Amino acid sequence: MGPVSHVRRSSRDRGAVTRAGIIPRMRARSSRLTTSSLGLTLALLSGCAAQSRGAPAQRCSEPAALAPAPTAAPVATAAPGLPALMAFEPAEDTLPAVREQFGQLVGAWRCRGEARQPDGSFKPSPGESRWTFFYTLGAQAIGDVFEPAASGAAVGINLRVYDPERELWVLAWTTPALRRYEQFEARREGDTIVMRGDIPAKGPFPDHRARITFFDMTPRGFEWRYEAAAPGTDGPWQEFSRIHCVAAGA
C-alpha cells in the first residue's frame, strides 16, 4: 500500500472546492481507502500476503487455519544447535570418563571464595559467585561459565575436552578482560581432578606454574584450590585462593 498524499488548501479556496464537488469525491475516496485498509489488515491477520498494485491477483479469502502450508522454511522456535552447545544430561555416546570426572559437576553452583593475605592467612571474599557446568560439543566435552560476585568483574568460560588416548583433559580458560587463552592439562588423581598449566605474566601477577585441584566432589558441593610454583617447575607449591561451592538449589 503506497503513501497517501495530503494537499493543504487556503480558506479562500474551500468554498470552491466544496462547490466543485471535490470534497465529496475525497470523502468517497477516503471511504474506499478505509475499506481497503481494513480488508488488507484482515487479510494480513488471516495469513494472506499484501497485494501491491499491478501484482498478479491472489486469493486471500481463506482463514489462516485453512491456508496451505508455506513453502519457505518456518522460523525456528529455538536455536537448532543449542542442545549441541549446552545440555545438562549426557548423550548415549558420551565417554564414561567425561561423565564420571568433570561431568559430575554439571549443574549450577553457588560459590564463595577466599584469598590469601600477605601474612599467609585467608580472607573470605565478599558476595556469592555462580558457577555453571554443562555438557557441550554434542555432550563430548564440558563447558563452564564462572560469574564472579564482584561488581564489574569479568565473566569467564572454560572448555574442557577429554583425550581418551592420553587419558587426560585439555582445557582453555578466558575472560574478556584476560584477552587470551590460558591452557591446562588435567588428570584424575584418586578422588580429585588436578589441572596444571604455565601462566604468562598479567598485570601484577608474574608468570608461574599453576596447579588447580577439584576435591570433595559430591552432589551437594565441591572444593577448589589454586596453587602456584616457579615457572617450569612442579613445586614447591603455595596456595593462593580457595572456592567453596554448594548446589544452587541447596
Provide the pLDDT confidence category of residue 203 given band limits of 50, 70 and 90.
confident
Report the phi/psi class of residue 182: left, alpha or beta, with left for phi > 0 and alpha for psi in -120 to 50: beta
Q: How confident is the model at residue 82 (pLDDT cuts 50, 70, 90)?
A: confident
Q: Please give the average per-residue pLDDT across 148-163, as a whole number.
A: 95
Rounded to whole angstroms, the Cα distance separating 98 from 139 reads 9
Q: The pTM is what?
A: 0.68
pLDDT value of residue 135: 98
Q: Is the pLDDT assigned to residue 77 strictly greater than 90?
A: no
Which amino acid is residue 239, in one-letter code?
Answer: E
Q: Are strands 208-218 and 141-147 parallel, antiparallel or unpaired?
A: unpaired
The amino acid present at 131, given as its one-letter code, is W
Please work out, in degrees rounded to the nearest 5, the angle formed at the alpha carbon of residue 220 by the alpha carbons of 216 and 226.
40
Residue tagged 491472489 (cell numbers): 58
Share of the chain above pLDDT 70, in %: 68
DSSP state of 211: E
* Cis before 80? omega within 30: no
pLDDT band, very low/low/confident/very high, at 79 (cuts 50, 70, 90): low
Is 85-247 assigned to CATH 2.40.128.20? yes
Task: Tell which residue, 131, 128, 130, 129, has the closest CA to residue 143.
Answer: 131
Start-end of CATH 2.40.128.20 domains in the chain: 85-247
When the pLDDT of each residue in the chain is averaged and rounded to a whole number, the result is 78
**pLDDT greater at residue 177 or residue 36:** 177
Closest to 160 in 3D by CA, of 216, 95, 244: 95
pLDDT at 210 over 80: yes
Could you tell me which of 102, 128, 139, 117 has the C-alpha nearest to residue 222?
Answer: 102
Residue 12, pLDDT above cutoff 80:
no
* Strand pairing class (122-124; 107-116): antiparallel
Which tens digits make up the pLDDT trace of 104-145? 999 999 999 999 999 999 999 999 999 999 999 999 999 999
Least confident range of 47-56, 175-184, 220-229: 47-56
Mean pLDDT of 224-228: 98
